[in-house]
Amino acid sequence: MDIWFTENHTEGYKVSWRIDKILHSERSPYQEIAVVESPDLGRALLLDNTVQTTTRFEFIYHEMIAHVPLMLHPRPQRVMVIGGGDGGTVREVLKHPAVETVELVEIDERVIEVSKEWLPQISFALDSEKVNIKIVDGLQYVKQHASRYDVIIVDCTDPVGPSLELFTKNFYRDVFNALKADGIMVSQTGSPTFSSHFTEAVKGIQEVFPHSSPYLTCEPTYIAGFWSFTIGSKKYKFDNINSDRMATIETRYYTPDIHRAAFVLPKYIEQMIK
């Protein structure tokens, strides 16, 4: 008998894909966690019945959330990742030789442990000596460290439940304060087509940072295959790419041309964020 996973996005739009096997399922203190095997997407991590990452396409999301801000900073030595317990974003951050330490701030330790067990090709970088894992609430942790980080990456789940606070202007102000004078932040900001929080998140970052913009990618795992991130910078603009550094970093999706193209927004999205 076929088993199908269905992710509900709106009352009138849902996406289904067949799974071969449920590899792991549990309830942590914070959420439902599952790992499933799909013939088309490979292994997938699900949190509260929402797909977070798949072994087939995860490189697209993780490269775009990590390399875009890191390639803009001349020397990103100290990086914080909020969320991202699967380890994919940390893996990409550590490809930059200048990075000396990465603080992974994850509220749910079980996400990390399950990812290490079932998604080793994504999570292996979590064992690096450069990685300092903090099992705490990122909302509170970021308030405790002023002017400390070169780059902060908000690799959070969709804006429901506790994660909703990670999409507010108050949180973006706390991130701003935790960054050094030339710091950069980026947050995943969901589907620009279906997410009701996209515009609010983008405008919140715009109101806090002197330089900000959404940028886009295509990721077949997620809703409609169309995804956004929003970057905020205290100093650097978004076309200042260090191409020489790029020559030393191995990627499958991200390139300097992809970087520049990602900031070219369709007219309807430009109108959404005016």
Task: Please state whether beta strands 3-10 and 13-19 pair in parallel, antiparallel, or not at all (unpaired).
Answer: antiparallel
Catalytic site positions: 155
- Annotated ligand binding at 62? The verdict is yes
2 Cβ partners below 8 Å, 6+ apart? Answer: 18
Where does residue 230 rank: exposed (0-12), middle (13-18), buried (19+ CB within 10 A)? buried
- Annotated ligand binding at 155? The verdict is yes
DSSP notation for 57-75: THHHHHHHHHHHHHHHSS-
Tokens of 34: 């599952």
- Annotated ligand binding at 158? The verdict is yes
- Annotated ligand binding at 2? The verdict is no
- Annotated ligand binding at 137? The verdict is yes
* Single-letter code of the amino acid located at 239: D
Rg (CA), the chain: 18
* Single-letter code of the amino acid located at 40: D
Place of tokens 């499958």: 252
* Single-letter code of the amino acid located at 274: K
SS3 146: coil
- Annotated ligand binding at 217? The verdict is no
Task: Please state whether beta strands 179-190 and 226-233 pair in parallel, antiparallel, or not at all (unpaired).
Answer: antiparallel
- Annotated ligand binding at 162? The verdict is yes
How many CB atoms are closer than 10 A to CB 232?
A: 26
Helical (H) or strand (E) element with 200: helix 198-208
- Annotated ligand binding at 138? The verdict is yes
Q: What is the DSSP letter of 194?
A: T
- Report the alpha-carbon distance of residue 61 to residue 43 in Å, rounded: 15
- Annotated ligand binding at 157? The verdict is yes
Binding residues: 31, 62, 86, 106, 137-138, 155-158, 162
Binding residues for spermidine: 62, 86, 155-158
Binding residues for S-methyl-5'-thioadenosine: 31, 106, 137-138, 162
